Structure 1
Amino acid sequence: MTIPDYGKEFDGKRVVVTGASGIIGTWIAEAFSAAGAELLLCDNRVEPLKDLAGRLGAHSVVSDLSTELGVEELLVALDRLWPTADILVNNAGIYPRTPVATTERGLIESIFDVNVIAPFQLAQHVIATMTEAGVEGSVINLSSGAAQRTTRTGGVYAASKAALEMLTKALALESAEAGIRVNAVAPGFAPGSEVSDLPAEHVDKMRRTIPLGRTSGPRDAPSAILWLCSSAASFVTGTTLTVDGGRTAGDFTPTPRSS
């Protein structure tokens, strides 16, 4: 994976990445590690997290961010490790496919606990410690094109991501005077980001809905995140950067090839 060279800008920067064992979380962790950052990685999957942290020489904590205890475990580990983080990447998320009309309260709460409440609480804590330490850091929330367009079984997830984007704006306004920037990145479809394997025909079908003609790869979302956290984006806060090959721009049908 080739990421734009930011020189020594990220050397020694303290970066927290949640959901680090998923495919996009792994790409993000690898990008910051390659740029010289010191990492605290969090996930609820023990062995994949252990393997990733070992490979990158990163700190790690196993916790379930769907619970108040899990969020507290991450914050305790963070406070023991550093006075504050320089960058927080709220990447952890879940996407149960469920129709809005028949989804039970418990599942709705689980989706919002991971996708909204955990980022909310982690950002509150990190922004407070950044402010106290005088660190002009960055918070990145991982959103989704689902915040703009949904499906018949994706409405609850879509609502959670729309809430996360509004939370991003609110936190950006509240932390701007401290020099802390808060943004969101909405990655495109990345085969392997699902818990279960996707059939090749489904991946191909999705690819054909993407105007730029390919699925998301290892440098796409990480490049956007590193840019937003760099001095090159020092005047950018409260926004969502969509990195999806144009998929959420509108419906797309490839032009038939002439024979």
Structure 2
Amino acid sequence: MRQPLTDWIGRQETTDDRITAAPLTGWRATLDKPDGPAQDGEVLPPLGHWLYFLPRARASDIGPDGHPRRGGFLPPVGLPRRMWAGGRVRFHQPLRVGEAVRRVSTIKDVREKHGRSGALVFVVVEHRIHGPGGLAVVEEHDIVYRDPPAADTPPPLPRPCDKPAVWHEPMRADPVLLFRYSALTFNGHRIHYDRTYAVEEEGYPGLVVHGPLIATLLADLAARHAGGRPLTRFDYRVERPIFDVDPFSLNGAPVGERAAEVWSLDHSGAVSMVAEAEW
């Protein structure tokens, strides 16, 4: 008899790391930032902690999609597709290059549902990151597992944007950008760099742009309009994927003096990701 997935609720994992300069330098180069090499003492940009605490599964423990095989800390969900669905991040104090850091991860919730496209499992993981000065980042990360959609399943209806953008930046994620971001985050998921696998095995029209990459670009957009003040909150939700075969855009608008809404639109103008930022 299968062990209930809810038995994983409350499971914890502790990981230690050091905020080294090389990943931040690579992040700047990948996003075409002019800042140059990172130096000790520099503050990480918003969501820069995603460059650390990376998975280190052995090659023999990797599944056919490039992800580590199921089990261990995350529940052993049997559904084949795993997607980054969104999250909520609170920044309590900065993390700096050179600091030793610790992350305590906890499975907060596991829910099984059945939608139009089949079985779904939602997993919420909380990460609490501590630096030398105490608690620095609290993050809730939403993961969804699902079956591949049936051939006759209609795609979800696109949601057009219903708000005007004050900030607008056209973007295109070419294969080099996607490969470099995969390398930066040690993400082996083949949908981001293996076009044959993405198209023929998973049925996508092209390479899938990483959800964390889009969230990072949106957080960076908000931070550049925050007047030098650090972000204190960033909540984001994925609505539909973006692919390398078409351009997309980053958009945003202030909400009062200390917040903003930011969102990405695909080539058709449909909303891809929405986020709220505060500083």
* Structure richer in strand, relative to its length: 2
Please confirm whether the aligned pair reaches a TM-score higher than 0.5, indicating the same fold: no
* Structure richer in helix, relative to its length: 1
TM-score, normalising length: structure 1: 0.30
